[in-house]
Amino acid sequence: MLARQISAIHVIGVLAIVIGFMFPVSAAQASWLDRVKDIYQLPENVEQIQKDYEATKQQLKEQKDKLSETIRHSQETEEKLLKQNEALQKENQLLQERLKAMEQVALDKEKRNRKITNMVIAAVLLVVLYFVLGRVFRYVVWRRQKRHMR
């Protein structure tokens, strides 16, 4: 009995479609037929959507791979620059130590030169003082002898 009901429903459906094609179609029926056609075209649309989805998925995967590669390259560059920065910092520290040492040598040399200059000036002053005191002593002795002689 169930098979007869299904078969009767099919027959009625086929008759309705045949009658629909035989009589002129009004605007309302055209819209209904367009909907039916759209329903049958849905699998094509689904296939297109699936193709678009797969293409988009592939593009996303490619972009993700490119991004991963860019991140990896960026990290390598960062590590390289950090190592280079450390090397430059060590070199800078060595250069600063050398500069301090050179400044200290220059200060020591300046102090030594000042001491030598002071010693030379002191020696010259002592020699001059010796001659001046010698002259003053002779003058004083000469004056005393002159007083005693009178």
In angstroms, the CA 116 to CA 129 distance is: 19
Residue with tokens 């003058």: 139
Using DSSP's 3-state secondary structure scheme, residue 150 falls into coil
CB 7 within 8 A of CB 16: no
Domain locations along the chain: 2-149
Query: Helix count (H) and strand count (E) of the chain?
Result: 2, 0
| Alpha-carbon distances, residue 134 vs 5, 57, 85, 122, 127 (angstroms) | 157, 113, 72, 18, 10
Q: What residue type is assigned to position 141 of the chain?
A: V
7 vs 5: CA distance, rounded Å: 5
Give the model's pLDDT for residue 27.
47
Per the CB < 8 A criterion, the answer to whether 21 and 33 are in contact is: no
- Would you give per-residue pLDDT tens digits along the chain (150 residues)? 545 555 666 667 666 676 666 665 554 455 666 666 666 666 666 778 888 899 999 999 999 999 999 999 999 999 999 999 999 999 999 999 999 999 999 999 999 999 999 999 999 999 999 999 999 999 999 888 888 776
Q: Give which of 132, 114, 134 is closest to 124, Cα–Cα.
A: 132
Model confidence, pTM: 0.44
- CB 25, CB 33: distance < 8 Å: yes
